[in-house]
Amino acid sequence: MAPTEGEAFKTLALELFQDESVTGVLHDGNGQIIVQQLDGEGAGAAAKRIQASASAAEVANAYGNVKIVTVTEDELAKPTASTDVVGGYGIALLNGEGSGGTCSVGFPAWSPQGEPAVLTAGHCTLGGATDVFLTDPKGDQAGGGNDDTIALAHELGTVAFTQFGGAGDTDGTPGDALDITAVDVTNDDLSLIPAMTDWKNTDDLSASLASNITSVGTAEIGATVQRSGRTTGYSTGPVDTDQINPYVDYEGYLEVDGRLVQGFSAATKVIPGDSGGTILQGSAAVGIVSATFQFDGVEHMWGADLQTNLAATGGYSVMLDIPEAQVTSLKSGDAIEWNAAITGTAGAGAEVEYAFLPKGAKASFESSAKTTADANGNWTFNGPETPGDYTVALRAKSGYNVSDVTKFDVQVVPSAPGITSPENGQAFTEAVTEIAGSAAPNTEVTLSGDVTGKVTSDADGNWSHPVELGEGSYSVSAKQTINGKTSNATTVEFTVGAAAPSPAPEPEQPAAPEAPEFINPVDGGSYVEGQAPTTITGAGVNGATVELRVNDELAGSATVEANVWSIQVGALPVGEHTLAIRQIVDGVASADAAITVTITAAAGPQDPQPEEPQEAPEDQQPQDEQDQPQQPQREGQLEPTGAEFNPAAPLAIGFGLVAAAGGLLVAARRRQLKSER
């Protein structure tokens, strides 16, 4: 391997430069050495350097990491000092007689038709200047020269628009007070760069920049501005407040050589020759140098407001350095499936132009497509539809501004083919006899895993492969290959075996128990208020839980003991009431058993009525037998109450009867339940 750093690399470079056709020896960060060699078939002075020496080829053959790249004479590196035009560059403006003055370039710009232009101050054309030339930076005062060393370097262009003060170069009024000239560039050898020089490199003003120019704005009072011009070079200073009387005839307007100019002042020094130069705040273009004045013994600059001046030029605009289109979804060299989405960023609302080129090709947009970044600068487009190796070239556009070109390499592979039978996870009880699927039409599909082989899809993209797979578990994968690019794999897993056992039956739910029974009170019973039973009793399944509801409200619960349950309730008010009882056995509830009882209001006291004596019938029983109270006949029911009963004593008797009758019923119920169990 050839050395790529240190003294060993220097020695290798010296050896390579013995071949006079070698114009560059470079290395990257991956251990690769690039030897730039002039094409022997080229014409011109540089081609005469080529001799018969084969040292470069010999070195390349001796090392595996050396690559020779040939270039034409037009592609050789050239100095840019006199041909790259930036803000702050010196210019001379001359009339037809060859007289005029010197100023500075304010901004590289665009004409209304999108052709290259520059902007400078309007007063620079006083005297009828029409032709504009670049001056040699070394002869300008900022480059170490003086008025006697001013030299013209290149023709720049012709004046297309100019105004100083009011329209027609009048004194101007508020609202019509400009200082701007637009020059159409006519020299095709010049390159305009949207940036401002800091004058630190007079061999190449574009090699040392104070700032790129990324937008157009309005000067912010109190914030620092940067400016550049051919006389004083580069300087900075804060924008003054607007309290600068008596130098302001009107707020925002200053009389410059007898004419009004709308703009702003800044505490930085400028002198003649700096006129027309660049004024930035950050990277935003805000003004053109218009004049110099002193206030309280401090040098100040007056800048013509850029946006106001541009609005009067009929469509000229500042050339801007806009963000490059950058890919964010992948890195160079990554593989993607055909037609996959590629995403990235650019300036908000920028148009992104892209082209798919053969890998390693130079950027070209002859066959390109476009997409647009959204308000957040995000964009997306789909990659190539044909598998292969590509270089993708991108550039962003905003108006006439075009970003630098970015490139990245990408491998485009087919998407994975489909396997339609068997399906993933499928279980078979009989042997599988075919693997089938889909792919691109007329494409080779390779099977791997438990089934191997190759098959070609038909014109509709369908393919199949015969197999004989008996009992067992299987995994089969498929890939397709197009243009030498192989897709990722699709994999299915399946089983072949005996019929699967029937699922276990669901456990039977326990049957609901029968509804419990009421013993006391009975259905349809009627009671005087205050005389209804407050202990509700009944029969149920031993150990069950019973729940009593009165008028749909839970009144209590109890556990059935010896097949009998008992629940205490409060006195029921006058009216009809529904009592419902259910029992719960092993978490399963029975249906409700319900009865209805009625509570009537107690009768008030009545006046005794005198009885008329009556003769006893002959067959009347003896008096002592008549005086014995007769026992009412009832079957487990409370005696209806009425005025003929003593409200206290008969009630006690009635409850005694109920208890006795209830006891008989309970005993009978117990026997019944025992016999059922």
pLDDT given for residue 234 in this prediction: 96
Kindly list the distances between the CA atom of residue 602 and the CA atoms of 32, 347, 531, 605, in Å, as whole numbers in the listed order.
116, 95, 9, 10
Q: Report how far residue 388's alpha carbon sits from residue 598's, in angstroms, rounded to the nearest whole number.
A: 95
414 preceded by a cis bond (ω within 30 of 0): no
pLDDT given for residue 672 in this prediction: 35
User: Do residues 191 and 340 both lie within one domain?
Assistant: no
Q: Report how far residue 465's alpha carbon sits from residue 550's, in angstroms, rounded to the nearest whole number.
A: 76
Per the CB < 8 A criterion, the answer to whether 350 and 377 are in contact is yes
Threshold 0.95, pTM exceeds:
no
In the predicted model, residues of the chain with pLDDT beneath 70 are: 28-29, 39-55, 71, 73-82, 240-251, 498-504, 604-677
Dmax over CA atoms of the chain, in Å, equals 174
276 is a domain residue: yes
120 is a domain residue: yes
Residue 486, H or E segment: strand 485-486
Q: Can you spell out the DSSP letters for 551-572? A: TTEEEEEEE-BTTEEEEE-PPP
User: Do residues 70 and 88 both lie within one domain?
Assistant: no
User: Do residues 71 and 218 both lie within one domain?
Assistant: no
620 is a domain residue: no
Per the CB < 8 A criterion, the answer to whether 559 and 583 are in contact is no
pLDDT digits (tens, 9 = 90+) for 450-469: 999 999 999 999 999 999 99
615 is a domain residue: no
CATH code for the domain of 252: 2.40.10.10
User: Do residues 337 and 307 both lie within one domain?
Assistant: no
- Domain residues for the domain of 333 are 326-411
User: Do residues 110 and 14 both lie within one domain?
Assistant: no
Report residue 142: phi and psi, to 5°: -65, -20
Q: In sequence order, what E strands does 15-106 have? A: 22-27, 33-38, 66-71, 84-87, 90-94, 100-104
User: Do residues 69 and 91 both lie within one domain?
Assistant: no
Per the CB < 8 A criterion, the answer to whether 338 and 414 are in contact is yes
Q: Report how far residue 316's alpha carbon sits from residue 306's, in angstroms, rounded to the nearest whole number.
A: 11
257 is a domain residue: yes
Among residues 276, 295, 318, which one ends one of the domains?
A: 318
CATH code for the domain of 463: 2.60.40.10
Report residue 242: phi and psi, to 5°: -85, 10
Q: Report how far residue 497's alpha carbon sits from residue 470's, in angstroms, rounded to the nearest whole number.
A: 7
Q: Report how far residue 156's alpha carbon sits from residue 187's, in angstroms, rounded to the nearest whole number.
A: 6
User: Do residues 306 and 330 both lie within one domain?
Assistant: no
* Count of the separate structural domains present in the chain: 5
Q: Report how far residue 571's alpha carbon sits from residue 537's, in angstroms, rounded to the nearest whole number.
A: 15
pLDDT given for residue 666 in this prediction: 31
User: Do residues 336 and 236 both lie within one domain?
Assistant: no
Give the end-to-end CA distance of the chain in Å, rounded to a whole number.
101
205 is a domain residue: yes
Per the CB < 8 A criterion, the answer to whether 651 and 666 are in contact is no
pLDDT given for residue 498 in this prediction: 67
616 is a domain residue: no
User: Do residues 486 and 596 both lie within one domain?
Assistant: no
